[in-house]
Chains A and B, each alone.
Chain A
Amino acid sequence: MDKSVNENTKSTLLKTGFFNRLETLLPKAVLFPTFAIAAIFIYGFIGWTTWISFTDSRLLPKYELAGFIQYITLFTKEPRWWVAVGNLFIFSILFISICIVIGLLLAIFLDQRIRGESFFRTIYLYPMALSFIVTGAAWRWILNPNLGLERLVQQLGFSEFTFRWLVDSHMAIYTIVIAAVWQSSGFVLALFLAGLRGIDPAIIKAAQVDGASLPRIYWRIIIPSLRPVFLSAVIILMHISIKSFDLVMVLTRGGPGYSTDMPATFMYAFSFNRGRLGFGAASAVIMFLAVMAIIIPYLYSELRGTRNER
């Protein structure tokens, strides 16, 4: 090979080497802003909040560490926190189980070659498009102790009927459950319906050939095969529960008293209204840890699953 050719190849090599490097650098460069955003505004801020939770910050953040004092106060000296945690448990258990029962039942019924299926589906799902604030405003009016449901039933002839859950500190939490179920069960229905549509019809035919009755097919074959959907639904609803803030704020503002407080409203009240930043931060960190304890194992298995598929 003569010299000129050799040099020629060399220069193209250098050029292409540069382009090659550019080509591999470009995606990283384009992704960098997102990387920075995630690093600062997600992970950095979580760290920041965690830091504040270990200080004695009140109205303004201070950065001298003060140990576990906020956490100790939170768990031992603050009855309101325990009310919030207790409410969260009551709320999540009822909210999740009722949503799943309604969602599954309606999904199975809708899966029976129903005339106007999409019409029904549209109705069941529209609350999901609304803000919790709108939902809350509506239910606040419906459950109004004087002019709402109570009076409607009274006017129907049951004059002794009382329905004052919204202002009853023992019952107010259940009004939040009602509104939340109304808003979210259509979504659970959609999840289950998608799951039902994904079941291989041949399995059901096989069961019919085996002589199984319809309820038995559902109970023994179809519902068990929806297990992943159950898992997803529970995780998502649990996630909604822990984050629930809007609905409580608009329906009860955490009241009467602080009887319907939840961790999210607790955190907000202490951080922004009462000027106890360190305390609010500590409750936020606990919420964060609770969510992560649920989400990370779920996410891990989900991601691993999709990776295997590919």
Chain B
Amino acid sequence: MASLTVSNIRKKFGNQEVLKGVSLSVKSGEFLVLVGPSGCGKSTLLNLIAGLETINSGEIRIDDQVVNDIRPKDRDIAMVFQSYALYPSMNVRKNLSFGLETRGVPKAQIEETIRHVAQILQISELLNRKPSQLSGGQRQRVAMGRALARDPAIFLFDEPLSNLDAKLRVEMRTEIKELHQRIKTTIVYVTHDQIEAMTLADRIAVMKDGFIHQFDTPQQLYDNPANLFVAGFIGSPAMNFIPCRLVNQGNQTGVMLENKAGRSFFMPVEQHDLDVKKWLDQEVILGIRPERIASGFYEQEGNPMIHEIECIVEVLEPTGPDTLVFVIINDSKVTCRVSPHAVKAPGESMKLMIDMSKALLFDPGTGQRIENQTAGSTGCT
């Protein structure tokens, strides 16, 4: 167990700067997930933490020791790779013991460790097989076993589940979480899959273009995204973004939404920290999650922030528990999550309720959130 601190790291490949000043701190025993689209620099960051690449500037500390110039093998880390990276010529037992042998661990102790690890991961009966004789899930287990055998201070996972089929991926995800709860070692886990990130992480760092866009708990990321990118990246189906104008109507500030037929609806917004003067009569982007546009809400009664809008149904996508209804608002396509019983056929008009208390406003120029409903969220760019 160890803490990890990454301060203002920069990394260039040739002329291309892949990491443009990244800072993170992971508490001992914490499960951190780095998530972002491909090419965002998350794998590079992991390789830097592992010591497989050298940083151009900045500092990496494991506990209190600066490890910038320390070789991978001396950093007390272990890594699980996307391709599993099992040594093809060695059987499972040798794969698990290779790192220990290199370190000069006594034979008896290696035996004991392997037995223990194999038992935890239920790969005891595979120990004499070669990697080529294993299924994808089994290889995944062996790769984790190899890391586990080393009993490192920090585990690094580089998209470990991407090569598995969907069903197995969900199973292994749960197993990794169980494993973490059991061994309580610090984990840094890289994935491009936001669901994986949400389900596994204590905290998530959302990365794009070499920056960390937000570093927060999963729920905070979901409820209070710092900008359009994070808002769109986290959550599936993705948050709706509706361009609109901030106006005053009566004594309320709100946005105007227009359906396909040209009928306008006024939707008031909450204005805790909203600089109304600055944004009044300006274009903004309204962000609202699909489940906040529905046929109705349980807590609807007496909630002043729930408002009705009427739209033509364009397309339906039943998912089972809900049906996704696509409508057009302000010329953009909007997804709504509707109870299957309330759904109307395509082409028909339908009444929808919007829960504006969960609506967010973004600056169309910078993509940043306009209001900060909760002081705790940190948007660091």
Give A contacts to B, CB under 8 Å: 1, 9, 12-13, 16-17, 19-20, 23
Within 8 Å CB of A13, what residues of B? 66, 69-70
Query: Using a CB-CB cutoff of 8 Å, which residues 41-75 of chain B contact chain A?
Result: 64-66, 69-71, 74
* 12 more CB-based (< 8 A) A-B contacts, given A1-B64, A13-B70, A20-B69: A9-B65, A9-B66, A12-B70, A12-B74, A13-B66, A16-B69, A16-B70, A16-B74, A17-B69, A19-B71, A20-B71, A23-B71
Beta-carbon nearest neighbor of A19 in chain B:
B71
B103 to chain A minimum Cβ distance, whole angstroms, is 15
Report chain B residues within 8 Å CB of A1. 64
B69 to chain A, nearest CB (A): 5
Please determine whether B71 and A16 come into contact, CB atoms closer than 8 angstroms: yes
Interface residues on B, range: under 10
A269 to chain B, nearest CB (A): 50
Chain B residues lying within 8 Å of A17, measured Cβ to Cβ, are: 69
Q: Which A residues are CB-close (under 8 A) to B70?
A: 12-13, 16
Interface of A is mostly: helix
Nearest residue, chain B, Cβ from A21:
B69
Q: Which of B64, B66, B70 has the most CB of A within 10 A?
A: B70
Residues in chain B near residue A19, CB distance under 8 A: 71
Task: Tell me the bound Cα distance from A17 to B70 in angstroms.
Answer: 7
| Cα separation A23 to B71 with both chains bound (whole Å) | 10
Query: A13: nearest residue on chain B (CB-CB)?
Result: B69
CA distance A12 to B69 in the complex (A): 10
List the A residue with the shortest CB-CB distance to B64.
Answer: A1
* Interchain nearest-CB distance for A36 vs B (Å): 28
**C-alpha gap A289/B331 in the complex (Å):** 64
Closest residue to B68 on the A side, CB-wise? A13
Report how far A20 CA is from B74 CA in the complex, Å. Answer: 11
In the assembled complex, the CB of B176 is this many whole angstroms from the nearest CB of chain A, namely 29
Interface majority SS (helix, strand, loop, mixed), chain B: loop
A14 to chain B minimum Cβ distance, whole angstroms, is: 9
Closest chain-A Cβ to B363's Cβ sits at a distance in Å of: 38
**B residues engaging A (CB < 8 A)?**
64-66, 69-71, 74
- B64, B65, B69, B74 pick with most chain A CB within 10 angstroms: B69
How far, in angstroms, from A1 to B61 measured CA to CA in the complex?
14
Give the docked Cα–Cα distance between A17 and B66 (Å): 13
B200 to chain A, nearest CB (A): 30
Q: Which residues of B contact A23 (CB under 8 A)?
A: 71
Return 16 A-B CB contacts under 8 Å, by A number: A1-B64, A9-B65, A9-B66, A12-B70, A12-B74, A13-B69, A13-B70, A16-B69, A16-B70, A16-B71, A16-B74, A17-B69, A19-B71, A20-B69, A20-B71, A23-B71
Rounded to whole angstroms, the CA-CA distance of A13 and B70 in the bound complex is 7
Enumerate chain A residues within 8 angstroms of B64, measured Cβ to Cβ. 1
A187 to B163, CA, bound (A): 38
Please give the distance in Å from B52's CB to the nearest CB on chain A: 12
Chain A residues near B66 (CB-CB < 8 A): 9, 13
Q: How far is the CB of B70 from chain A (nearest CB, A)?
A: 5
A56 to chain B, nearest CB (A): 48
CA of A11 to CA of B66, assembled, Å: 13
In the A-B complex, list the 5 residue pairs whose CB atoms are closest, starting with the nearest: A16-B70, A17-B69, A16-B71, A16-B69, A13-B69
Expressed in whole angstroms, the Cα–Cα distance for A13 and B59 within the complex equals 14
Give the distance to chain B from A49, nearest Cβ to Cβ, in Å: 36
List chain B residues, Cβ under 8 A from A16: 69-71, 74
Residues of B within 8 A of A12 (CB): 70, 74
Complex Cα spacing A16 to B66, Å:
12
Residues of B within 8 A of A9 (CB): 65-66
Q: How far is the CA of A13 from the CA of B69 in the complex (A)?
A: 7
Chain A residues with Cβ under 8 A from B74's Cβ?
A: 12, 16
A188 to B70, CA, bound (A): 53
Bound CA–CA A20/B66 (angstroms): 15
Give Cα A1–Cα B65 distance, bound, in whole angstroms: 10
CA distance A20 to B72 in the complex (A): 10
Alpha-carbon separation in the docked complex, A1 to B66 (Å):
13
What's the least CB distance linking A121 to chain B, in Å? 28
Distance between B43 CB and nearest chain A CB, rounded to angstroms: 15
Q: Which partner residue on chain B sits nearest A1 by CB separation?
A: B64
CA distance A20 to B70 in the complex (A): 8
Neighbouring A residues of B71 by C-beta, 8 Å: 16, 19-20, 23
Q: How far is the CB of B53 from chain A (nearest CB, A)?
A: 12
User: How far is B65's CA from A12's CA once the two chains are assembled, in angstroms?
Assistant: 11
**B68–chain A nearest beta-carbon distance, Å:** 9
CA separation between A200 and B303, bound complex, in Å? 60
* Minimal beta-carbon separation of B152 from chain A (angstroms): 17
**Docked complex Cα distance between A1 and B69 (Å):** 20
CA distance A251 to B74 in the complex (A): 66
Measured CA separation A20–B71 after assembly (Å): 7
The docked-state distance in angstroms from the alpha carbon of A9 to that of B66 is: 9
A4 to B186, CA, bound (A): 27
Tell me, in angstroms, the Cα distance from A102 to B74 when the chains sit together.
61
Q: Residue on B with the closest CB to A8?
A: B65
CA distance A16 to B70 in the complex (A): 6
Bound CA–CA A16/B67 (angstroms): 10
